[in-house]
Amino acid sequence: MFEGFAQVWTPVALSKDVRDEPVGMKLAGTKLVLFRGQDGKVGALVDRCPHRGVALSLGKVKDGCLVCPFHGWRFDTSGRVTDVPWNPDAKISQLRGTELPAAEAGGLVWVYTAPGGRPQSGPSAPAFLSRPELRISGFSVEWKIHWTRLMENMLDWPHLPFVHESSIGKGMRAKADSRMDIHMEERETGFLSTITVDGELQPGSLELRWPNQMVLTIADGPRTLIMMNACIPIDDEHSRLFVVTARSFLKLAPFDYVFELSNRRVVSEDRAIVGSSWPTAVPRPSEELSVRTDGPTLAFRKRYFAELYGSAAASAPGRPVPLRLTPKAAGASA
């Protein structure tokens, strides 16, 4: 399970989008369902009923339990079965769905990609997401590309004046004959990069938050504008880009749509080019030509192959115990 993306925390949704109904999704080839328990906490289960394999996300949430749409089995946020209709004698203590660690931080829902896992720490959300003076908004869009190509694009400085000549890279094209130097600073969560052009520091910074988040700080002062992009794997050929924006100005809700339109334009520019990458997943560093300004993407690529490539998570420990017919029931006619 979660091949190539195992045993890491990743954001998967805005907290406000997980409400009264189950939310189904696919993460690194594995189908998940999110829902809220009676205490309001978010739970995450593999989206497969252990009884007959149907999608739990097609069910409903009642009294904080996820109700299977097929036979009405109920699951709490830990995956424990709390009720089996028509079977008051069922040993429900031995019946479980497959739980994944889930948590909320910075207004986002995070999932740890190891069924039944016990991560050493919780998710590390960027601090700006919890700043009360900032307005937070977000959206997501699907790409037909492996998440690693998408992630490298988010860390890449030199493409800005070419892919985004009429948007965020405007004004940089004329400087392309100059020398760009990329300065990288290691952080506990990854690294921070800034650039100079002919020795002059340029505005903004890009931060890699391992494994799949980039934080772009455009300005942080009287007018703060910060963006987090999370590159979420769906399967080998599809990814979901989750874009979260924080701002200290134009904070009324109607302006969320204005910022979304602007960001969607930038995303569409990237998708038109990056979506043509072949192979769709990043190859090893030695298999493509690289130059000095590829430092951030090469750093990501090397860590990806060292820590995530080929990784996989086992299914949850133990197997759901099936209901067994009594001899009398087994011999009964239909």
pLDDT band for 333, please (50, 70, 90 cuts): very low
> For 162-176, 190-204, 233-247, 309-323, which range has the lowest pLDDT when averaged over its residues?
309-323
Say what the pLDDT of residue 332 is: 39
Element (H, E) at 270: helix 254-274
> pLDDT at position 275, please?
93
CATH of domain 127-307: 3.90.380.10
3-state secondary structure of 323: coil
Note the residue count of the chain.
334
Residue 55 pLDDT level (bands cut at 50, 70, 90): very high
Closest Cα partner for 45 from 77, 90, 87, 81? Answer: 77
Q: Are 321 and 91 in contact (CB under 8 A)?
A: yes
Q: How far apart are CA 244 and CA 252, in angstroms?
A: 16
Helix (H, G, I), strand (E, B) or coil at 232: strand
For the cut 90, the answer to whether the pLDDT of residue 258 exceeds it is yes
Q: How confident is the model at residue 171 (pLDDT cuts 50, 70, 90)?
A: confident
| CATH T-level fold of 9-121 | Rieske Iron-sulfur Protein (2.102.10)
pLDDT at 47 over 60: yes
- Asked whether residue 322 carries a pLDDT value surpassing 70, the answer given is no
pLDDT at 173: 75
328's tokens: 């009398």
- Mention every residue, 6+ apart, whose C-beta is less than 8 A from residue 302: 285
Residue 318 has pLDDT above 70, yes or no: no
Average pLDDT estimate for 49-72: 98
- pLDDT (mean) for 62-76: 98
- pLDDT, tens digit, for every residue of 187-208? 999 999 999 999 999 999 999 9
Convert the pLDDT of each residue in 131-163 to its tens digit. Answer: 999 999 999 999 999 999 999 999 999 999 999
- C-alpha torsion sign, points 143, 147, 148, 152: positive
Confidence at residue 176, expressed as pLDDT on a 0 to 100 scale: 84
pLDDT of residue 324: 42
Q: Quick one: pLDDT at residue 250?
A: 96
Q: Average pLDDT of 260-274? A: 95
Instruction: Name the average pLDDT for the chain.
Output: 92
Three-class SS of residue 243?
strand
Check pLDDT > 50 for residue 328: no
Confidence (pLDDT) at 64: 96
List the chain domain ranges.
9-121, 127-307
Q: For residue 316, what pLDDT band results from cuts at 50, 70 and 90?
A: low
**Phi/psi zone of residue 2: left (φ > 0), alpha (ψ -120 to 50 degrees), beta?**
left
Helix locations, 160-253, DSSP H: 160-163
**Do 214 and 229 meet the contact criterion of CB atoms below 8 Å apart?**
yes
Residue 275 in tokens: 């979506």
Question: Average of pLDDT values for 91-99?
Answer: 95
Q: Is the pLDDT at 226 greater than 70, yes or no? A: yes
Cα atoms found within 13 Å of the Cα of residue 280, Cβ hemisphere only:
13
pLDDT at 166: 85
Overall average pLDDT of the 225-238 stretch: 97
Q: What is the phi/psi pair of residue 261, to 5°? A: -60, -45
Predicted pLDDT of residue 320: 47
Higher pLDDT, 221 or 259: 259
Q: Which of 175, 167, 180 is nearest to 272 (CA)?
A: 167
Cβ–Cβ under 8 Å, residues 79 and 48: no
Global pTM? 0.90
